[in-house]
Structure 1
């Protein structure tokens, strides 16, 4: 990835993003109707394949450029190169100039140009207001055809550092981060394209040359190896003319043959182990050779892995979790790629659990499946869930664009959705049993045992030590580079002047979704938005409380209560409740955070009333199952142990303690501590439930394909049976920001990165300055590649993969925080540079900075409420903070009235580097002492 973002469901459920023709008998609507999304495909003379889909529900367009190249088409010794190239393509092109699409994105209100690389493809994507479509087509064409001359030795050297930081962050500094590497090295032979990782090795990344870059570009970034998809609110005729103008003269490359299918072949089981520096719990992972993407058997295998591991009735849940109590959860999935696939099973055991016991339990669970099989009822509930996931994936134009490209490249037809959903819904009980026998039963596999340092006694018998390369922390080891000099290069010829950025189109009309409100007799507020783009409903019930109402001596009750509410009802066991929810194709989850307990749900519109009835049964008639409670406590204790090994979790928990002080309830981890969780009883949960869960101050939010009457009617039971009661919130003094800065260090020996958390406790979301501070922060660290923190620490120095700053208040003050992971040997240099940026931010803020800020924040409003989730978030903000229904428009007015002087004043008041906590989680042996040079005294070692 170019930078961290949540990965859309396309990566987990590649078959679920787009429908073109009739789907199935279960279409989510009335009988006889089908759900369809139209598309148009054409091919330019140079081979560029173009797919359009028009969706005028919101004034936005998504543009995605996908090249049919990933790590599978790399050379041995140049692993990770496709991903490195993805990064390079964002930096500059001949006519976009330095900063490339990132710089333009900030001006036009885009979602942020991003990209991702897989084994088989690399994509580049962004959603923008529809008045910027021509700009995006111009920019994407410039990247494809007018890019390579801008890559210099210095640019390459810098970006190699960024990608290496990404690898450290996602793999080397992460518990169990090397698992995929060990599995793929042993599942696929050395000459197989899937033998190495997409991210590559640090050594190979360092060895990449400029000649490699140019060769890679010429081979794989030719128009005849690329698909361009445009989805959203636009006029196809005009867009087609723009595509022809900007892409048409880019020269066609050499023909590229399709890769032949090459499934993994194992002749015997392989067992390997690794002592993981960051792990605190043992983990067993098994991998079997599977099938390639869209293989006829992939659909039944997906049902099989779901049935085996998801839900109370799942054989693996029964054996491993409930009966033997060896682990808190089991995960199983299929990783299906273009030429091969694998079926994966992962079990992270409780502390010091012998992985041989887990291994035996795995095959006991398989034996139970062999004996009992899968019923028609279970098959149908799994299909119902897949149907809802299918519709949910259509919530954004970007999601549709991803799937159009996916189908076009790997199925050879953007309209493959029709066959895809047909295959999905036609799986039979016999198919599920057959694929189990064919791919899993008695078949050889790769098994990895990842255990904490010093616990080799837990590994699977017969395992040999895995070959894992651990990077050493060496001061000054990185290659130097200098980006200050302007590089000259020959301009690529064109038939017209490409240096002129196209003008904006007609400005989109920004409309805030219509919100309806109701208040039930028991005091519950109800807010909704009718949205009929897909036949779905999403809802959220937010109940005030959470950690704020906990006993400081028994922290963790709210979280355990949330878990218990999902473990059956008075009249339904946990399994029966799950079956009832799944039969509707619905999902209901309960969670606790610092200030709330929330119930979230999603269902087909036709099943809304039935889903709400189950939600109300969960809330009003808890089962209070003692056995389930004990299992939940085990699971939470395991989570807490796992967090102790994860540098990012350590940083988050330690930073809360610094912000709030030891005696404030919000200084605690919502999970509690190992000691507090052990002390919690079922009676504690019942007391919290009786005293604190009230409709007074609570709010229900609903978005979807139903009107107000249909949304409110099923709440009648809740109105009648959930009685109002006043809840008293304890008063806690809000700590003041530190008078002087201080450095705190948490030692993680051997850490390959240092995790940074710098900041202080700032404002609640209800403070008059709160949104103004988000405006002020955009150029500092809130604007991604438009921000100074990113430009200087990532783009200028190569210290980090990503860095950001934010204000995150709620009904109580929240922190201003700068967070990043930097390579270990520049910990002090990174902290010093952040300090310098903060010191100069206010005085150095310019009129140009203000123009970029205004351009982004005003124009991005067009994207604010595109998805159902965004609409649900809008309702939550309105009910939680008393904001007006049109707060988005009022914020636009605030942005338009912002001045340079106001920004400078806010910066001077709220981002003083000399009044903050500086927390570093990293390797103390090599990094602690130098931090005295920050000027804030001797660092305090926290552990």
Structure 2
């Protein structure tokens, strides 16, 4: 695309924008994928990119620093990720915990992420809040260090440790990436440790080390500020100059340049993970960095080998029922890439055999080569994913920021797509020969216990000490240079402008004589269409025969296995040729057919969807495979602490004999009872338009889409009678139910009871949601602030009411560090009890009203959000303007009313408290809390003779 270029050093309007120079403007171009933008640079080196888009009254602000874990060094890992946490802990003019509070009460969403090569912070807010977001981001860029204290450092160090425990140590297969990175990359290479870092490194550093890291890498000259959405570029420039212009530049940052990684022989490594059922076999080859000329062809090779039902890995391992999962992927970063192939074999097989079969796959590929269809499917899917990534202003801003950071070219999206659309069969064969064929790899085995043998004895142990062979950074001579704002008083928070007018989607409705309800809205920001057909029933229909629980879910799985004219593989390949998806899944109360496509492929996609719905294949071999995968998946969950906690909690909440005490997927013994005839019968009896609700969102009008859906209008089906379910909470008093998970790095906690509320968006449900917001519904709620920010015991804690057409529970939950298990239960119950007894504060009422009252601007932006909104209207038969009634309730509700709801709804004397953790180290502390303790196994069954009363 031809860019409109401007002289780099020509100043714009020396009076208004004296610090800012225009780099380029890129407009929309017909027939091309372009994100229009204006690019500027401030005197201090800050790059500013502005994307103007008035389709929704929202703005997205992203600050990307070109620093990630790759800028860390031996014995000092985890700094970049640590700073992601510290940047939310206040700055000179923003109080502790105030960053989340200010964004949330503005009706916005926020977060930060860190990877190997960059750290970004972002907010999506109503467009009248732009001033405040820029002020917040500038304050932590220029005024963070005066607010960094040893106390904050210690709390966030504990929080990061809990994140490591929850997402790595306590999660199934959670450590494989850490072992893999250390085995693939040389000692001292910045990719040889994970972004989260090593705990021993976090223990040895202090707050001074952290401050030096910030001073070196977080200057405006190493950052890109991208602002997109409902904005005026001239106004954005003025505001950015005001808030960021006085922040001094940091030290110069040179690009990293490291030699490509090579290994000279296969490296066999293994470890034991007690949280898994299936062993893991992983091959990892070193490849190329992101944007390398061979990246696209390697991605294509990865897809041919391991993506979809026609892939080599699926046919060799999954189709033959040797493995529950097998695939390949090719992630790339700024300095290197990794081509990874993996299998999750069913228990009882030898990993050595799987290693041989993986090698056979590579030989088969070499002999068979690449087909035109392989290339066609790869390109179609890449184009579809690229377009769908532009559904939101945040998606567009993220693309601009990423391309600027790593290519110095925000306008790279079409070029990126072009390089993928240019891949040839010859390219794929060339990169296979260059990077994979006959090349050594890291071959990693993850074992469920020490009785299972790895693919081969370990022959490699990553180096852990010695001189650093890689360049280091000089952190001497760095000092904090406080920005000079002159007469500008940065301590005064910007006052938001008038709230924008929120555009609720324009809705059209239909109801057909066969009983189906239809609702839709036209959305033409991207050329896509999303259709969702909901068939009410789902798992609750399993109540008709609880001995076959999981039948609804298994039937939905079988609906994905082709048609009477197309095999499972053929059906998926037809979809992959056009980059579309047609999929069925079942939940607690419904079965859903989800259809997503580019507009140009709508007709063909609907032909395939009709075939799948009307003519399911129901092949016996497909059934046997799906049934086995389901059973093994259920058994696998019995080793995962989080899954165990949720399962046991539901069983206690609903009661042993209730259908919702069983997961939607069923139990191993109930799924074993299901036959293919049961699946056919379920389809015949319960797949009916009379319980159907259809939602259409996309770049298509009502007049255009309805004729294309005639197959649904002419569909006939039986009446469906829902089983009668009873919901009665029978907890006589609060008890602790303890499930022993030996040596668990964390404990999983669930606390709650079964309410009598069903979903009512303008009644009790909504008011209970408002009451809970300050207790556990927001990041800076009492529960999360206590357990995460004050105590440092968890990565996150929350509470919520879960309601639908059936009553659901009030639940508080968290994963906490093992040695704080009893203390966490105590704090949970103390906070909930205090909230119940003493109520909400006036400041909390004000915060809740501001936050929820301004969220509406963000609720209808993407096709997915619009579909969710329409789904609620059609399913619960709501007025189209029910959100206006919610606003009236929100504005009128008082502290007194909220306090009464807390007293009524927080039944602290009738709570189920589930703890899954190491019994030996936790039992004494739990006894001291004064509750009766009932010991259960992972299936929620009592451990004989183990109930006990506890003394205080």
Select the residue among 496, 500, 503 that pairs with 1:508.
500
8 Å contact 1:20–1:417 — kept in the other structure?
no
Select the residue among 304, 316, 320 that pairs with 2:317.
320
8 Å contact 1:737–1:760 — kept in the other structure?
no
Three-state SS of the structure 1 residue aligned to 2:908 is coil
Select the residue among 864, 869, 875 that pairs with 2:870.
875
Residues 679-694 of structure 1 aligned to structure 2 (within 5 Å) = 679-694=673-688
Select the residue among 123, 129, 143 that pairs with 2:140.
143
Residues 99-127 of structure 1: CA distance to partner in whole angstroms, max 9, x if unpaired? Answer: 2321211221111x210110111110110
CA separation in 1, counterparts of 2:290 and 2:259?
12
Residues 741-752 of structure 1 aligned to structure 2 (within 5 Å) = 741-752=734-745
User: Equivalent residue for 1:860?
Assistant: 855
User: Equivalent residue for 1:809?
Assistant: 803
Select the residue among 115, 119, 122 that pairs with 1:118.
115
- How far does residue 750 in structure 1 lie from its aligned partner after superposition? 0.8
Select the residue among 796, 799, 802 that pairs with 2:793.
799
Residues 164-203 of structure 1 aligned to structure 2 (within 5 Å) = 164-203=161-200
User: Equivalent residue for 2:723?
Assistant: 730
TM-score by length of 2: 0.92
Residues 263-298 of structure 1: CA distance to partner in whole angstroms, max 9, x if unpaired? Answer: 211111100111112111111111100110111111
CA separation in 1, counterparts of 2:593 and 2:814?
31
CA separation in 1, counterparts of 2:592 and 2:253?
51
8 Å contact 1:72–1:193 — kept in the other structure?
yes
Residues 18-57 of structure 1 aligned to structure 2 (within 5 Å) = 33-57=31-55
Please state if 1:84 is matched with 2:82.
yes
User: Equivalent residue for 1:931?
Assistant: 926
User: Equivalent residue for 1:778?
Assistant: 773
8 Å contact 1:281–1:641 — kept in the other structure?
no
8 Å contact 2:63–2:225 — kept in the other structure?
yes
CA separation in 2, counterparts of 1:62 and 1:172?
34
Q: Label 1:737 to 1:500 Cα distance change in 2 as closer, same or farther (>3 A).
A: farther
8 Å contact 1:531–1:705 — kept in the other structure?
yes
User: Equivalent residue for 1:612?
Assistant: 606
CA separation in 1, counterparts of 2:282 and 2:105?
46
Residues 198-257 of structure 1: CA distance to partner in whole angstroms, max 9, x if unpaired? Answer: 111111112221111110111001111111110111111011011011101101111111
Residues 386-425 of structure 1 aligned to structure 2 (within 5 Å) = 386-425=382-421
TM-score by length of 1: 0.93
Three-state SS of the structure 1 residue aligned to 2:573 is helix
CA separation in 2, counterparts of 1:609 and 1:519?
22
Q: Label 1:545 to 1:468 Cα distance change in 2 as closer, same or farther (>3 A).
A: farther
Three-state SS of the structure 1 residue aligned to 2:276 is coil
Select the residue among 515, 518, 522 that pairs with 1:530.
522
Select the residue among 819, 840, 849 that pairs with 2:844.
849
8 Å contact 1:613–1:714 — kept in the other structure?
no
Select the residue among 60, 64, 67 that pairs with 2:65.
67
Where does structure 2 lack aligned partners over 5 or more consecutive residues? 1-24, 465-479, 939-952
User: Equivalent residue for 2:219?
Assistant: 222
Residues 634-656 of structure 1: CA distance to partner in whole angstroms, max 9, x if unpaired? Answer: 21122112211111111111111
User: Equivalent residue for 2:351?
Assistant: 355
Q: Label 1:223 to 1:491 Cα distance change in 2 as closer, same or farther (>3 A).
A: closer
Q: Label 1:293 to 1:913 Cα distance change in 2 as closer, same or farther (>3 A).
A: same
CA separation in 1, counterparts of 2:389 and 2:816?
34
User: Equivalent residue for 2:535?
Assistant: 543
Please state if 1:668 is matched with 2:666.
no
Q: Label 1:186 to 1:440 Cα distance change in 2 as closer, same or farther (>3 A).
A: same
8 Å contact 2:34–2:411 — kept in the other structure?
no
Greater mean deviation of Cα atoms: 68-77 or 609-618 = 609-618
Please state if 1:103 is matched with 2:101.
yes
Residues 722-776 of structure 1: CA distance to partner in whole angstroms, max 9, x if unpaired? Answer: 2132111221211225231111111111101011111111222138300111111
CA separation in 2, counterparts of 1:464 and 1:765?
58
- How far does residue 392 in structure 1 lie from its aligned partner after superposition? 0.7
- How far does residue 492 in structure 1 lie from its aligned partner after superposition? 6.1
Select the residue among 421, 428, 447 that pairs with 2:424.
428
Three-state SS of the structure 2 residue aligned to 1:677 is helix
User: Equivalent residue for 1:494?
Assistant: 485
Residues 872-921 of structure 1: CA distance to partner in whole angstroms, max 9, x if unpaired? Answer: 11111112212222222221221111110111011111112221110111
Three-state SS of the structure 2 residue aligned to 1:537 is strand
User: Equivalent residue for 2:746?
Assistant: 753
CA separation in 2, counterparts of 1:147 and 1:685?
60
Residues 404-456 of structure 1: CA distance to partner in whole angstroms, max 9, x if unpaired? Answer: 11101111111121211110111111111111111111110001100112323
8 Å contact 2:840–2:899 — kept in the other structure?
yes
- How far does residue 660 in structure 1 lie from its aligned partner after superposition? 0.8
CA separation in 2, counterparts of 1:296 and 1:892?
53
Three-state SS of the structure 1 residue aligned to 2:405 is helix
CA separation in 2, counterparts of 1:766 and 1:342?
49
8 Å contact 1:659–1:735 — kept in the other structure?
no
- How far does residue 21 in structure 1 lie from its aligned partner after superposition? 7.7
Three-state SS of the structure 2 residue aligned to 1:547 is helix
8 Å contact 2:28–2:36 — kept in the other structure?
no
Three-state SS of the structure 1 residue aligned to 2:397 is helix
Greater mean deviation of Cα atoms: 576-585 or 150-159 = 576-585
CA separation in 2, counterparts of 1:655 and 1:317?
35
Residues 565-619 of structure 1: CA distance to partner in whole angstroms, max 9, x if unpaired? Answer: 1111011111211122122220111111111111112101122232122112111
Q: Label 1:737 to 1:59 Cα distance change in 2 as closer, same or farther (>3 A).
A: farther
8 Å contact 1:20–1:39 — kept in the other structure?
yes
- How far does residue 91 in structure 1 lie from its aligned partner after superposition? 0.4
Residues 361-376 of structure 1 aligned to structure 2 (within 5 Å) = 361-376=357-372
User: Equivalent residue for 1:899?
Assistant: 894
Larger RCO of the pair (alpha carbons < 8 Å, separation 6+): 1
8 Å contact 1:273–1:465 — kept in the other structure?
no
8 Å contact 1:275–1:456 — kept in the other structure?
no
Q: Give the aligned length.
A: 893
Q: Label 1:533 to 1:814 Cα distance change in 2 as closer, same or farther (>3 A).
A: same
Select the residue among 230, 234, 238 that pairs with 2:231.
234
CA separation in 2, counterparts of 1:157 and 1:490?
25
Three-state SS of the structure 1 residue aligned to 2:340 is strand
CA separation in 1, counterparts of 2:31 and 2:200?
56
Three-state SS of the structure 2 residue aligned to 1:734 is coil
